Each structure stands twice: as structure tokens, then as C-alpha cells.
Structure 1
Amino acid sequence: MYQTLEIEKNGRVATLWMNRPEVFNACNEQLVTDLSAACKELDIDNSVRIVVLAGRGKHFSAGADVNWLKRASQFSAEESLADARRFASMLRTLAEMSKPTIARIQGVALGGGTGLTAACDMAIASDTAVFATSEVKFGIIPSAISPYVLRAIGPRQALRYFQSGERISAQRALAIGLVNEVVPAPELDAKVAELAESLILAGPKAQQAAKNLVRTVTGRPIDATLSEETAQGFARQRATVEAKEGITAFLDKRQPAWLG
């Protein structure tokens, strides 16, 4: 049981619901702690293949709880650093889950909410969703979320939005790579479910290796070293039990064992 979260399982898909709708699922110390623990719990749960991050109520997440910000403004330097480390660690725990993660976005996803969106592997947003890296409007910077937002939208767009704090519409978020798809609000759950079902068809170990591949290759020059590393990675994966089962199942025209 978590104070600020609910975990809902539907077959092999677990939805991690942030459950503070009265404050638009704004982050505070407890939500950060609960998110870290729940991500770790679901990552070792063999009954779960896909994790969806969502927010109860009208909004995904309004970012930092104002009461948290008020408390943090009175922290000592040591307390402030410890608090920032907990938030950064939570985002990393989410981003490094071994299973595919989908952010389900409705309403606002501001500040830390944009960070949570970007820390997931993929994101589906309703057409009325709104995003922002609004920290500069409070005299702070989106430091902890920056690795994930930069990964999603690139440095050119980040230079604009990290400094302006502008609101980003769902369609603009799609255009700059912050989300993968935008759908009418009534179709949001159906689209998330469709994506989750597609992900379930793939080999779980291969998906984990694919996530690691993206981390390994991103930003590196295409040279002989990278070529050799990717060739070795392919050969290594092809020799796994899962790969042999997947190829055999395809040739035998049957479902692979991981769908059993």
C-alpha cells in the first residue's frame, strides 16, 4: 500500500496511478518516495510486462507541490541537496526500469510532470494536454528532469523551453518529440491499451536489451568501435534462449513461449 499511489493490474499491464487529484498530482516528498518504491516493486514483479504511469483526476501532474516548494525554500544547503537527490533518483529509477514504460497524459504535465513524461520510454497524450518546463518562472531550473527532457526534445528545443517556461500544447509536444502520439481525450485509454498490447508481443529480454542499446548508441559517432560493439550485441542476443524460441516459434507458426 502506498499513501500517494495506486497500482492497478490488468493482465500483464500494471498502471501506476498517482493519486493526489486534489492537488493535480503535484509531487511532494511522499509521492517521490512512493514512486521510487513502486517502480522497484513492479520491475521485479514477473507477472508484469508493461508499466503505465498515469494520474488520477483531470490532470497528469502539475509538477512540484507548492507546500513542498515552500518547505524547500527554508532548507539548509545539505537538506536541499538531499531533497534534490531523492527526486533525481526517483526519475532515474523510472527511466531505468527493465520493462517498457508508457506515460498516459491528460490535462497538465508541468515541471516535474514534464520530467515524468520524458523519463518514461514513450508517452501518449490527449489532445488537450499541456506541458511546460516552467521552473525558471520560479527562479529555479529544470536540472533533475533535464537529462530526460533533453533526450526527448534535443538541445535546440530545450534551450527555448528551459529559458522561456512557455506552455507547450499537445500538438507541439508531438512535433518536438516529447510525446509519441496525440489522440482525442475520449480515446486516450484505448490508445494506451493498444500500445501496451503491441509491446506485450515482443520478447521481454529483447526489450530490455533494446532499451540498453538506445542508451549505448545515443550520441556516439558511427565509427569502427561502435560498429563492432553493435555487431557483438546482435550476435549475443541472437544466441539467447529467448531469441532461439522466438525464431523457432515464427518458423513453426505458433506463439512464442513468453505469450503463454
Structure 2
Amino acid sequence: MYETLDLSVDDRGVARLVLNRVEKHNALSAQMIAELTQAAQRLGADDAVRVVVLTGAGKSFCAGGDLAWMQQQMAADPETRFAEARKLAEMLQALNTLPKPLIGALQGNAFGGGVGMASVCDVAIGVDTLKMGLTETRLGLIPATIGPYVVARMGEARARRVFFSARLFGAEEAVELGLLARAVPAEELEAAVEAEVVPYLSCAPGAVATSKALVRDLGPRVDDAAIDGTIRALVDRWETGEAAEGIGAFFEKRKAAWMR
């Protein structure tokens, strides 16, 4: 059914949604964005599904936005850029509003959009060797569409430490920042995730869904106005000379003009 994802559901109703572009470190392509949106809608509507575990295949959880996809946006007209940015925003919101518990199992590194994916999980657990980073500014871009979820997860004060420096940080700091609930050795990841899953199997599914919606309403609002603002910010940034230089430098395997 999916080309960039693997999806399975066990007899308890625990779904496992696996990012599966191993050769690209699970970077978010247009196809993966579309398939994640479809999968979130499908899982949300399936009464047999009680919990969803989001993870990745291979060495990385998610390397962020696919740079070939970003390069296409640089060459596109503003209307196309806006439409593509909206698809990314809608995918994140579909996962964020999934009416089932969403448990992130970060078996490897998460950069850029991968940090955003971790931030829409209700609980994210990572291996203790992983690296994370909001690396967009190194490319002349900004962490726009993921921004509301990252800031909601970390809070503004902690977000300021890593949101615009492109600095990489490890699992211990990710726990301190609130991105991860726990960091565990790789061989303990499955057990740690299972410990998060099991309690939900004794809970009323409707009560869980309503409670999840309530906590979103009580916390920082990620509404249409905020999402539209991030889309506009991303589209505007794609049109800058810095973005052209940053993306160009990456593909030309050279340092961007601002790098020291």
C-alpha cells in the first residue's frame, strides 16, 4: 500500500508505522509526506487501533526534509511552493491530532523535520547514542512548519538554545530539552516503548482520545492561524538568496558563503 512506509497492526491493536527510505535516512520526500498523512488518517479512523508506534528503519529515525524536494521548491513558482509547504504542515498536524496515543521510538538520529516528527509524538524515547539538531539555518532555511510543535514540546526558553543555531546535541540533552522522555541503550528501546504502550491497553479508547484532545486545547495552541503563518514564513524563506546559496552549496559539496 505504501512505498515509503511500512505499516502493521498486531492482535492487540498496536500499530507500528515505520519510515522506510533507508537509503535516504528516511528524509521526508513529497511521497512520504503524502503517505504519512494518509496513514495518520487511516489509523485515526480505525477503531481496532489502540496505540501507534512511530519509528524508522535503518540508521536514522528521520534526516529531515529531503533536499531534492527542497531543491524542487527553489525552482517552483510561489503557488506551488505554498501548496507543497501546506502538505508538509498538514502531515504534521494529522499526526499531532491523531486520536490515538503516538509513541515515538527513535532508533537513530533525527534532524530538522525529524525533530518535528518527534515533537508531535505524545511520548518519544530514543537510543542513548542518537544525535538531534534543527539544522535548517545552516542551509539558509528555517524550522518553520515544525516550529509550533517543537516550541510546544520544549517551551520558548529551551527552544531558544537550539532552534536557530543548527547545533547538534545528544540524547541526554534531548531529554533535558523535553524532546525525549527517556534515552536508553539500543537493546532496551523496544522494552521501553512497550512499557509506554501497555497501560493504554487497559484504558477506554474514547476517553484516551478525548483526553488527548483536551490536553492540546489546554496547552499551546497550534491552530490554523499559526500553521498558515509558518507556511508563509517557509515560502518567503525559500525565495531568499540565502536559501539558494545554502541549498546550492550542499549539492555542489562546498561551504556556503557564511560558513567560517
Q: Where on the TM-score scale, by shorter chain, does this alignment land: which range?
A: 0.7 to 0.9
Rate the CA distance shift 1:219–1:87 in 2: closer, same or farther, 3 A.
closer
Aligned length: 220
Counterpart residue number, 1:3: 3
In 2, the alpha carbon distance for the partners of 1:46 and 1:212 equals 17
**1:81 to partner: Cα distance:** 0.8
CA contact (8 A) 2:55 2:105 kept: yes
**1:126 to partner: Cα distance:** 0.6
In 1, the alpha carbon distance for the partners of 2:214 and 2:120 equals 16
In 1, the alpha carbon distance for the partners of 2:135 and 2:158 equals 14
Q: Which amino acid aligns with 1:202?
A: C
- State which structure, 1 or 2, has the greater radius of gyration over its C-alpha atoms: 1
CA contact (8 A) 1:51 1:99 kept: yes
- Alpha-carbon displacement from aligned partner over 1:121-154 (angstroms, at most 9, x marks no partner): 1101110111111111111111100111011101
- Alpha-carbon displacement from aligned partner over 1:14-58 (angstroms, at most 9, x marks no partner): 000111001110011000000000110111111110001111111
Large movers: runs of 4+ above 2 Å: none
CA contact (8 A) 1:106 1:128 kept: no
Q: Which amino acid aligns with 2:2?
A: Y
Task: Give unmatched runs, 5+ long, in structure 2.
Answer: 222-260
In 2, the alpha carbon distance for the partners of 1:215 and 1:27 equals 25
**1:219 to partner: Cα distance:** 5.2
SS of 2:60's partner is coil
Select between 193-202 and 90-99 the one with higher mean Cα deviation. 193-202
In 2, the alpha carbon distance for the partners of 1:18 and 1:218 equals 28
1:128 maps to 2:129: yes
**1:218 to partner: Cα distance:** 2.1
In 2, the alpha carbon distance for the partners of 1:152 and 1:202 equals 24
- Alpha-carbon displacement from aligned partner over 1:46-76 (angstroms, at most 9, x marks no partner): 1110001111111100011121122121111
CA contact (8 A) 1:64 1:112 kept: yes
SS of 1:103's partner is strand
In 1, the alpha carbon distance for the partners of 2:69 and 2:217 equals 36
CA contact (8 A) 2:110 2:133 kept: yes
CA contact (8 A) 2:152 2:220 kept: no
Counterpart residue number, 2:181: 180
In 2, the alpha carbon distance for the partners of 1:174 and 1:155 equals 16
SS of 2:163's partner is helix
* Higher normalized contact order (CA 8 Å, seq sep 6+, divided by chain length): 2
Counterpart residue number, 1:100: 101
1:200 maps to 2:191: no
Counterpart residue number, 1:58: 59
Q: Which amino acid aligns with 2:3?
A: Q
SS of 2:145's partner is coil
In 2, the alpha carbon distance for the partners of 1:116 and 1:125 equals 13
Q: Which amino acid aligns with 2:7?
A: I
Rate the CA distance shift 1:134–1:55 in 2: closer, same or farther, 3 A.
same
Q: Which amino acid aligns with 1:76?
A: D
| Aligned positions of 1:115-154 closer than 5 A | 115-154=116-155
SS of 2:2's partner is coil
- Identity, in percent, stands at 39
Q: CA RMSD in A?
A: 1.2
